[in-house]
Structure 1
Amino acid sequence: MEETDFRQKIRSLVGDDMYRHALFYHYPDGLRFELSSGDSALDLVLTALNKATAICTNIFEGKESVLVHLQRYAPENRFQLRSTMRELREAGIIPPRNRSVWLEKVTADETDAFDDGYWVQCAFELPVSKVPALLWCALACDFPALRPNPRCLIYLLNLDKGIVAHPYDDRGMDVIGTERPPLEALYVKYKDWLLDYDLDAMKQNFEGTGGASTTQT
């Protein structure tokens, strides 16, 4: 069976510059949701999981599969990569053989947070029923005591709607896309969950005339 070029599929949506952090600030018409509330780590993650699952249920409505894109920083000690795969397996997330794997060098603007090295990229499709497990893995990343916890960046893509969802940790999730109508629908339905800090920019974009870019300068 011919392998699918998932890397090219992702590029067709986000362009040549692979996304990494803060998608909301780098793509027009983005949404940023505030997810967590509570006191304990478990309460924070469970509240975030409930909200993120509701949003993603809408994003992937009618879909049988989700395109998953994992990113993991690769230091000299590759043990962290093995631990990531172990934690993913414990969450029931096993990348199928039909997948794309590639490396990207740490960029100059990332060297404040990372040493010279590479990002290991892995993209594959899973049944949409795996979305809650994927969200847990993403949202638990700041709490080492919670498991499974693969400590990698997780992006969920619906190519038909042109949407990328990035649950960056328990605090929030960015949603970007190439088509405005699906994002407008999410803005209206989940407006109460939008992050207050960036709410004015989102209001201007989705309620103002002509729209406005949220890209940072």
Structure 2
Amino acid sequence: MNLKRTTQEIVGRPYRYALFYNFPGGLRFELSEGGGSPLGEVLTALRKATAICDDVFRKEERILVHLETFALASRFELREKLRELRVAGIVIPNIRDVWVEAQAQTDEDDDDESGYWVSCAFEVPTSKLQNLLWCAFTVDFGSSVGPNPRCRVYLLNMNDGIVVHPYDDRGMDVIGRNMPSLAGLYERHKDLLLAYDLEVMRRTFTSA
């Protein structure tokens, strides 16, 4: 299986961040509640996201994982990320796809710097779900909460054609071309939908 191609084709085209806004018809969930300690925020996000992801992957034995990180020229930074992944219980298997895209970093919270985006796709048992969510939710906390590999985490259900992106402790996007599956998530987890975008989701998933 070409894992890179699968990650790029599962929703019809490649994706990178802000999935809810770049792929209309998805879901955006609110996770941490703000105002607590870093660890408390991560644990709150972990609890809520696990309930949603258990629903997404309940029939699956394996998850296709897509990790993405921006790195500068030094390879030391990548070695540190791999070490943090191992501490988190995520060991990248020999069967994997790795690809690199050289370009400038353009995240709003970071200065533009020349470097490259490194992606790695591989499969893991669904039992590693919480380990992966932890890696996603610690991304903004630096060394205050660890392990923290500081990479983006995308979780893919290949059979249902769904991509889950827990972008940080605050929220999680779920997109895909399987609208009945997304509609089921909308109904079962209404209490976790982000209020700011609720009207957009209501128009998508509620019959007129």
The gaps in structure 2 that reach 5 residues or longer are: none
Alignment-mate amino acid for residue 123 of structure 2: E
199-208 vs 106-115, which deviates more? 106-115
In structure 2, what is the equivalent of residue 127 of structure 1?
Answer: 125
The structural deviation recorded for 1:77 is: 2.4
In structure 2, what is the equivalent of residue 24 of structure 1?
Answer: 20
Equivalents in 2 of 1:126, 1:176: separation in Å?
A: 20
Contact 1:106 1:114 (C-alpha < 8 Å) held by counterparts: no
TM-score by length of 1: 0.89
In structure 2, what is the equivalent of residue 99 of structure 1?
Answer: 96
Q: Tell me how large the CA RMSD over aligned residues is.
A: 1.7
Q: How do 1:78-93 residues align onto structure 2 when only pairs under 5 Å count?
A: 78-93=75-90
- What SS does the aligned partner of 2:114 have? coil
Alignment-mate amino acid for residue 21 of structure 2: Y
The gaps in structure 1 that reach 5 residues or longer are: 210-217
**What do residues 82-135 of structure 1 show as CA deviations (whole Å, max 9, x unaligned)?**
111000000110011000001123368669743222100100000000010000
Equivalents in 2 of 1:15, 1:46: separation in Å?
A: 33
In structure 2, what is the equivalent of residue 117 of structure 1?
Answer: 115
Pick aligned residue for 2:11 from 11, 14, 18 = 14
TM-score by length of 2: 0.93
Equivalents in 1 of 2:20, 2:153: separation in Å?
A: 15
Q: How do 1:153-192 residues align onto structure 2 when only pairs under 5 Å count?
A: 153-192=152-191
In structure 2, what is the equivalent of residue 50 of structure 1?
Answer: 47
Contact 2:137 2:166 (C-alpha < 8 Å) held by counterparts: yes
Aligned length: 205
What is the percent sequence identity of the aligned residues?
Answer: 53
Equivalents in 2 of 1:106, 1:69: separation in Å?
A: 19
